[in-house]
């Protein structure tokens, strides 16, 4: 029982940390980058560039009608987060690594969902990376959290060890 409670506390802290870091960095971007030109941090590799994304990943669905955007960018993510949260906290059949993976996805998802509900439907993006062979779109910490979560899920698929 103690292990279950400790695990749930750790999972809740991972979710809260991802959400807080995301919202803190977005507040910084809103205050300091909104009216600034692109700022290169590590040469061409990492730059800060403020953007308001009314769509999903790379602006997908930004030009869609309002009802479709509400369904795809608010309702579906909210239901998905509720489902994954329930699974993470109450399923005894998933591994610790899966729970950690889901915690990153939930924390990042909540960060972007919070923006969609409380920033007139847009998400603040501000990070851009150039790997010379390819460039990323402009993204945020919530997106990074979600990608880390999915990477951990992929790792867990190849992991034979069970909890």
143 annotated active-site = yes
The active-site residue, picked from 44, 115, 143, 163, is 143
Q: H/E element holding 40?
A: strand 39-40
- 125 φ, ψ (degrees, to nearest 5): -115, 150
Q: Which of 30, 125, 130, 163 is catalytic?
A: 125
Long-range contacts of 66-74 (CB under 8 A, 24+ apart): 69/121, 73/116, 73/121, 74/113, 74/116, 74/117
Is 115 assigned a catalytic role?
A: no
Contact 131, 48 (CB under 8 A): no
The span from the CA of 146 to the CA of 14, in Å, is: 12
Active site residues: 125, 143
């Amino acid at each position: 029982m103690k292990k279950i409670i400790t695990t749930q506390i750790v999972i809740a802290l991972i979710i809260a940390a991802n959400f807080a870091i995301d919202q803190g960095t977005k507040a910084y971007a809103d205050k300091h980058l909104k009216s600034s030109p692109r700022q290169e941090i590590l040469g061409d590799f990492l730059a800060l560039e403020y953007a308001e994304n009314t769509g999903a990943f790379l602006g997908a669905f930004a030009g869609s009608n309002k009802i479709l955007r509400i369904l795809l960018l608010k309702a579906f993510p909210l239901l998905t987060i509720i489902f994954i949260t329930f699974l993470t906290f109450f399923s005894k059949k998933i591994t610790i690594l899966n729970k950690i993976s889901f915690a990153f996805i939930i924390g990042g998802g909540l960060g972007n969902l919070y923006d969609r509900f409380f920033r007139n439907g847009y998400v603040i993006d501000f990070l851009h990376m150039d790997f010379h062979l390819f460039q990323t779109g402009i993204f945020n910490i919530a997106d990074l959290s979600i990608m880390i979560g999915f990477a951990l899920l992929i790792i867990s698929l190849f992991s034979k060890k069970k909890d």
